[in-house]
Amino acid sequence: MKTITLASALIGLFALGAPAAFAQASAPNDAQIAAIVVTANTVDIDAGKLAQKRSKNKEVKQFAKQMVTDHTGVNKQATALVTRLKVTPEASDTSKSLKDGGDANISKLKGLKGKEFDKAYVDNEVTYHQAVIDALDKTLIPNAKNAELKDTLVKVRPAFVAHLEHATHIQQSMK
């Protein structure tokens, strides 16, 4: 049975345009989960900052601003939690793949303009947030050993669902 990880979903998302599944050798530990969460949020913050600068669409710009604000807030919560718990986020193949995928997405988006940029950004956000929700449900929450870490992941999940719904709404309005 294959495990769908945040990396597997997001590597496909950024590099190939669709989630791809692969087996992870072992479940992530709390330090790796912390690094995955921070990296995933940073990836979306970077894309949101680019969209704020590049998009001419008011709705896309507002959504991008919300992504930067909300994901920065989640990163602050995660950083405060790991500091309090004295857990040092630990890089893993998953967090490294997320960073590489985020960099590839930014490169792709930088080559686009106008409606083409907006569509690519919003389509990416829909796929991205669905992948994050799946990773939270199937990998991150189930494997978090620390109760506070697990509770934080559970508490931020509704924000990702709201982001997915918002991005999907924008996607539909662009058709």
Domain of 87, CATH number, reads 1.20.1260.10
Give the model's pLDDT for residue 163: 96
Give the model's pLDDT for residue 127: 93
Long-range contacts of 92-95 (CB under 8 A, 24+ apart): 92/28, 92/32, 92/35, 92/36, 93/7, 94/5, 94/6, 94/7, 94/24, 94/28, 94/32, 94/36, 95/7, 95/32, 95/35, 95/36, 95/38, 95/39
pLDDT in tens, the chain (175 residues): 223 333 333 333 333 333 332 234 578 999 999 999 999 999 999 999 999 999 999 999 999 999 999 999 999 988 999 899 888 999 998 889 889 989 999 999 999 999 999 999 999 999 999 989 999 999 999 999 999 999 999 999 999 999 999 999 999 999 8
**Residue type at 144?**
A
Whether 1 is in a domain gets the answer no
> Could you say which DSSP state residue 4 is in?
P
Count of domains observed in the chain: 1
Range of the structural domain that residue 68 is part of:
6-173
Look up the pTM and report it.
Answer: 0.83
136/141 Cα distance (integer angstroms): 5
For 76, residues 6+ apart whose C-beta sits below 8 A from its C-beta are none
Whether 69 is in a domain gets the answer yes
137/131 Cα distance (integer angstroms): 10
Give the model's pLDDT for residue 34: 93
Give the model's pLDDT for residue 3: 30
